[in-house]
């Protein structure tokens, strides 16, 4: 049983780092500049949602429409703001026990991938010094269909050369858990049971994930 290989796929935002707070600041600035109110509750609904879709949702909430040039321009502005926050990130922003779990899986020779909707995934991983920890990285630049479409995770599984049903996905978003389920992967929700009840397992954060549990995932 010891040489069993599973594919461990990690979402980035909200799983490895808490970037939702930076997305919030950047979206809020943009929304307010359009005279639209933007709350933390609304920000919750943008978790796992692509940049384009996020702006569409904000415009719908604020009952605004934009020309396609304005839309493109605002997306670029939002991303510039967001990158300003990312630029200040360092390894201290990696969420608790993420290093422990990654290191344990590595020690067990398990293939590890990133499966993120973000087009900024690589610069973020670089900032927090995790870029070389992944055997494969699939991000928003590599896929055309957003979560809950399973494309991002299926592509990651292909790169790892592991069957989807032998993959395990760590996700904090409703759409991401759904994507993992549709792909036939084991879904592990990181966050609250109330929000992520459709995941196969839910943990508040990585501190709750024991080595015994990781061994079960590897050996089952």
Which residue, 8 or 214, is less far from ligand BG6 as judged by CB? 8
Beta-carbon contacts of residue 173 (< 8 Å; ≥ 6 apart): 11, 14, 47, 48, 49, 147
180 binds ligand BG6 (CB under 6 A): no
13 binds Mg ion (CB under 5 A): yes
Q: Mind spelling out the 3-state secondary structure of 145-186?
A: CCCCCCHHHHHHHHHHCCCHHHEEEEECCHHHHHHHHHCCCE
Select the span of 99-107, 117-125, 185-193, 206-214 touching ligand BG6 (CB under 6 A): 117-125
49 binds ligand BG6 (CB under 6 A): yes
Q: Which of 210, 169, 206 is nearest to 191 (CA)?
A: 206
Helix 98-107 / helix 211-219 crossing angle, nearest 10 deg:
40
120 binds ligand BG6 (CB under 6 A): yes
Size of the site for ligand BG6 (CB under 6 A): 18
Which residue, 120 or 181, is less far from ligand BG6 as judged by CB? 120
Select the span of 1-9, 50-58, 93-101, 148-156 touching ligand BG6 (CB under 6 A): 50-58
């Amino acid at each position: 049983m010891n040489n069993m290989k599973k594919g461990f796929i990690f979402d980035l935002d909200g799983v490895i780092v808490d970037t939702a707070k930076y997305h919030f600041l950047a979206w809020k600035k943009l929304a307010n500049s359009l005279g639209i109110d933007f709350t933390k509750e609304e920000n919750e609904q943008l978790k796992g949602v692509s940049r384009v879709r996020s702006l569409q949702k904000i415009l719908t909430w604020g009952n605004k429409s934009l020309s396609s040039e304005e839309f493109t321009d605002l997306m670029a502005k939002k991303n510039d703001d967001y990158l300003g926050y990312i630029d200040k990130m360092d390894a201290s922003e990696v969420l608790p026990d993420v290093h422990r779990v990654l290191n344990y899986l590595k020690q067990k020779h398990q293939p590890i991938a990133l499966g993120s909707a973000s087009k900024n995934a690589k610069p973020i991983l670089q900032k927090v010094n995790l870029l070389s920890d992944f055997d494969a990285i699939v991000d928003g630049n590599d896929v055309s269909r957003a979560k809950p479409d399973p494309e991002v995770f299926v592509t990651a599984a292909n790169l790892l050369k592991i069957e989807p049903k032998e993959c395990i996905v760590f996700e904090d978003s409703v759409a991401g858990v759904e994507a993992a389920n549709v792909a036939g992967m084991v879904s592990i929700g990181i966050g609250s049971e109330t929000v992520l009840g459709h995941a196969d397992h839910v943990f508040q954060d990585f501190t709750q994930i024991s080595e015994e549990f990781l061994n079960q995932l590897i050996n089952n």
